[in-house]
Amino acid sequence: MTAVDTRVPAHLRRFVVAQDYAEYTAVDQAVWRFVLLQMRARLGDSAHPAYREGLSQTGISVERIPSIAEMNERLARFGWGAVCVDGFIPPRAFQEFQARGLLPIAADMRTREHLVYTPAPDIIHEAAGHAPILPEPAYAAYLRRIGEIGKRAFTVPEEDRVFQASYALSEVKEDPSASPASVARVERELADAVSRVPEDSEASWLSRLYWWTAEYGLVGEVSNYRMYGAGLLSSLGESYSCHAPSVKKSPLDDGCIHVGYDITRPQPELFVARDFEQLHDVLDRVSKRLAVELGGSVALERAERSAELASFRFSSGAWAMGVLRELGPRREEPAWLALGGPTMIAWDGRIHERQAELRPSELWLVTGPLVSGERLETLGAEALARHVDASERATFRFRSGACVTGRFRRALRAADERLLHIELDDARLELPGRAPVELATYALVPLGEFVTAQAGAVDPGYHGETSFPDVRVPKPRTRSARERDLTELYARVAGAPRSALALEELLAVHAELERDYPHEWLLRWNLLERLAKLPEGESLARRIAGELEALEVFYERREPIAMGLKFLTSDLDRQQ
């Protein structure tokens, strides 16, 4: 297990895969280089100052797709690491990785058909977008904090369908072979999924805040700002179009959590933070709206509505983990709760080693003080004995009206004599507001009053040990003979010597382009870049420049050809 692997908790290991660097083709490398060369030149004045230096600091070169293992080593200097993931992962998993100082990086590379912008996660967005700002301490701390807070936020069940539909739409839009009918069908499915979400959840608030800051954030003043959001720093299109007057710029505040977004389209509105410290201020205000902060009936309502694994905290220091199934009789001060499993108990946020093997499929929790006023959690051995009769039948009557009886087996205590639970056989639970519950065995946990709840397991040990999947990405792709031949031409240009000796090879590649690939523009751009440094190739360079200008018209300016030509002209000026 590597150093970074030890930082990945058991329940997140299923998302971590291996980067298969050999699967990147010469075309993939050309796409990376085209985007990064121009982003670096363009963003020098419009991105946050941390961007340019952060590229090299975090192991990102404009010349080649980065190794995620190398990035992990570089990020360690800033208290971070990097893990390779396979495309989209659930938002909460992404946030929890970041809470632990791990940057999830999708290893796939966008196709040259989606060079300007891709709706699917790829290594340009994840590595060149997110990583360069991480050396900035206030920003890096914000990513950790929003991850830590986001992993505790409740969802609503309908949101999972929205996530799945969003994922499907991004995939189909990235697929060059997808028909317009396929795209339209998935767009309808997403719209239908969104329409069925009855309310904004806590998780959606945090996702939107993350989107309008870490993904599409601006910093400075509304009239004088810099980019820092990964979606802007990785998009040739939006890093330019975001400056248009038609894109509304609004001061960042917590109201952004009510502004929705479409991951497959350019954003019509962006939010400007005063500085990175303001991100923390806004996050503080949003976090105060979460169930874990509000507690009481609000926390129970959101936990029940989510129908997901949650952790419930009680005044004794106990936490119960499971899915809330029932409670009663009043939500404001519940006398009892029933959790579906697997369930577990933790103390002060950690599963006690003496209870680690207990994972019942259901857990009945009785809250509050005993009718005598005693608190179950403070009972010593002598006081506990008063609740057990001569026939070893134990009775515990609670002030709420609940009553628990059963044959006393033992009281399990921690080393410091804290009472962990009381084990009963042939137990009967009389619970206000529902029919009695009879159980062959029952562990009565000293809880005290209910305090609050949060999504997920408070102790990652709840999930048990798992192994990392034997998956490598990018996955092998099936290419036609025509695609394989074109890839070979890209490799020949990349491998040609950077001297006059290259001219013959470049002439030969151009001849094949003319014959077999009249509409291939990116390889022509690569040829022109090489020829710009060869005085002997001036005639061929003029010819290729003319072909690119014609292709700009052919593609109706949908491809960044003019942008690429302008970059080459500027690059030559800088060298002279």
What single-letter DSSP state applies at residue 145?
H
55 contacts: CB under 8 Å, gap ≥ 6 = 40, 61, 62, 128, 132
Instruction: Tell which CATH architecture fits domain 292-458.
Output: Roll (2.30)
The structure tokens listed for 398 are 């609670």
Paired with 511 in beta bridges are: none
Q: What residue type is assigned to position 55 of the chain?
A: L
65-115: pLDDT as tens digits: 999 999 999 999 999 999 999 888 888 888 899 999 999 999 999 888 888
The C-alpha atoms of residue 285 and residue 277 are separated, in whole angstroms, by 13
- According to DSSP, the residues that pair with 350 across neighbouring strands are 347
Whether the pLDDT of residue 359 is over 50: the answer is: yes
Query: Which residues sit opposite 272 in a β-bridge?
Result: 218, 251
Contact yes or no for 98/85 (Cβ under 8 A): no
H or E element that contains 313: strand 310-314
Q: Which residue has the higher pLDDT, 186 or 1?
A: 186
Three-point CA angle 10, 84, 148, nearest 5°: 55
Distances from the Cα of 238 to the Cαs of 269, 275, 525, 559, 575, in angstroms? 12, 21, 21, 14, 28
The predicted structure's pLDDT at residue 357: 74
Of the candidates 237, 242, 211, the residue with the CA atom closest to the CA atom of residue 227: 242
**Mean pLDDT in residue range 146-159:** 92
Name the nearest CA neighbour of 324 among 344, 308, 346, 335.
Answer: 308
Q: What is the pLDDT of residue 5?
A: 63
User: Residue 6: pLDDT above 80?
Assistant: no
Domain coordinates in residue numbering, the chain? 5-156+199-283, 292-458, 481-575
Distances in whole angstroms, Cα of residue 412 to Cα of each of 311, 409, 445: 22, 10, 10
Q: How far apart are the C-alpha atoms of 403 and 420, rounded to whole Å?
A: 19
- What is the pLDDT averaged over residues 527-549? 92
Do the beta carbons of residue 126 and residue 105 sit within 8 Å? yes
Residue ranges of alpha helices (H) inside 355-451 are 381-385
What's the pLDDT tens digit per position in 454-490? 999 999 889 877 788 999 999 888 889 999 999 999 9
Homologous superfamily (CATH) of 5-156+199-283 is: Aromatic amino acid hydroxylase (1.10.800.10)
**Mean pLDDT, residues 173-186:** 81
- Model confidence band, residue 574 (pLDDT cutoffs 50, 70, 90): low
The C-alpha atoms of residue 351 and residue 528 are separated, in whole angstroms, by 63
Encode pLDDT of 552-568 as tens digits: 999 999 899 999 999 99
| 19-57 per-residue burial string, b: 16 or more CB within 10 A, e: under 16 | beeebbbbbbbbbbbbbbbbbbebbeebbbebbeebbeb
Q: Is the dihedral of CA 220, 222, 225, 228 positive or negative?
A: positive
**pLDDT higher than 90, residue 33:** yes
Pairing mode, strands 218-221 and 362-366:
unpaired
Mean pLDDT of 172-178: 74
Alpha helices in 456-535 (DSSP H): 481-495, 502-516, 522-531
Three-class SS string for 232-281? HHCCCCHHHHCCCCCCEEEECCHHHHHCCCCCCCCCCEEEEECCHHHHHH
Report how far apart, in Å, the C-alpha atoms of 481 and of each of 75, 475, 476 are: 40, 19, 15
**Tens digit of pLDDT for each residue in 263-289?**
778 899 999 999 999 999 999 999 999
Do the beta carbons of residue 347 and residue 418 sit within 8 Å?
Answer: yes
Average per-residue pLDDT in the chain? Answer: 91
318 sits in which H/E element: strand 318-328
pTM of the entire structure?
0.90
Whether the CB-CB separation of 338 and 365 falls below 8 Å is answered with yes
φ, ψ of residue 204 to 5 degrees: the values are: -70, -35
